[in-house]
Amino acid sequence: MLAWDTMRIDPAYRERLRSAGLDSMSRVLARVDGVVAAWSRSTETLQIPGSGSDPGLFLKRVYVPRWSSRWRGALRGTLVGLHRGHAEYLALNALRWAGVPAVRPVAYGARLVVGFVAASILITEAVPDSVNLTTFAQQLAAGERTLSLAQRREMLARLAALVADMHAAGVSHGNLFWRNVMVRPAPDGGYEFFLLDAQPLRFWERVRAPRRWWLRELAQLCTSAVPFTTRSERLRFVRAYLGNAPLSAALKSHLREIERMARAGRPHEDRRVWMNRLFECWRSRLAQEAARSGPGASPPVAPP
């Protein structure tokens, strides 16, 4: 069956990807070593550790094995439009160009079968010393980290300011759950954030519901926050996003809608939080096994 590959690599990263064995679609799709950072029925993300000052890379592979799914994707635009890896590459760069801190995409590609997308990939540069916000919160809950009340409030205020600036620039993230927010210590002693896995709303979605699109992204953040924050902290976050505006009737209506959407998203997010905890346990175990194997050993792949 007629098949071919396409791949675009940031020229500044070409040699680095060649050294890592990630400079062609065939090598990328065949890659098995690394640490599984995320997994679902159609998508997997591998962390490829770097050496020395190299922070490493993340490789996301999206599979479309069934022809019914390929046809649906084609009808949504992938036949003549963008596949998922390309779309996310552009979305992350759009965030960065708007001044929003986001992970750096360095390559994307696809495998096509008679013109239909059978697999797509995205490679991003890892953010050194960072974890996703869900993992950070789980570590706090387990006593592995500590934060004072003032630090918690400062983190909420910084995240609210980041999201407010992003929306003020007219940029949508589309998938703004805590697992897609990386956090690490900042030079000023606080914490800084970087966004990943952007899936911005289509133009017609924003035109159809000009008010709801940004409320939905706030609801996504609040959905992830429910197990780890109080209701007053979530209210403080939304008010910080809105510039600490007085509690008007319009604001109260927004808060009710955010709470309703956040509540509706809880069952799905509960499963994702559970999976995040499971993967963190695997990563910890694999790191211990790699350390016992010696510094030159490649970390094994976690079971799906």
Q: In what order do the strands lie in the sheet with 43-48?
A: 3-9, 105-113, 116-125, 57-63, 43-48, 35-39
Q: Where are the alpha helices (DSSP H) in the chain?
A: 14-20, 25-30, 67-73, 84-97, 133-141, 149-168, 203-208, 212-225, 231-241, 249-264, 266-293
The DSSP code for 88 is H
Instruction: Name the residue with tokens 């916000």.
Output: 133
Query: Phi and psi of 188, rounded to 5°?
Result: -85, 5
Tokens 């407010």 locate to: 164
- Angstrom distance (rounded) from CA 229 to CA 137: 9
| Angle at the Cα of 134 from the Cα atoms of 33 and 141, rounded to 5 degrees | 115
The Cα 236–Cα 60 span in angstroms is 34
Token pair 């997308």 is at which residue? Answer: 117
DSSP annotation of 2 reads -
- pLDDT value of position 289: 77
Residue 213: its pLDDT value, please? 83
- pLDDT (0 to 100) of residue 106: 98
pLDDT of residue 1: 65
The per-residue pLDDT string of the chain (304 residues; one tens digit each, 9 = 90 and over) reads 688 999 999 999 999 999 999 999 999 999 988 888 888 888 999 999 888 888 999 999 999 877 666 566 665 555 556 888 999 999 999 999 999 999 999 999 999 988 788 999 999 999 999 999 999 999 999 999 999 999 999 999 999 999 999 999 989 899 999 999 999 999 999 999 999 999 876 665 656 666 678 899 999 999 999 989 999 999 999 999 999 888 888 888 988 999 999 999 888 888 888 887 787 787 778 777 767 776 555 544 443 3
261-266-269 Cα angle (round to 5) = 115
> How much is the pLDDT for 77?
52
* Res 33: pLDDT: 87
pTM of the model: 0.86
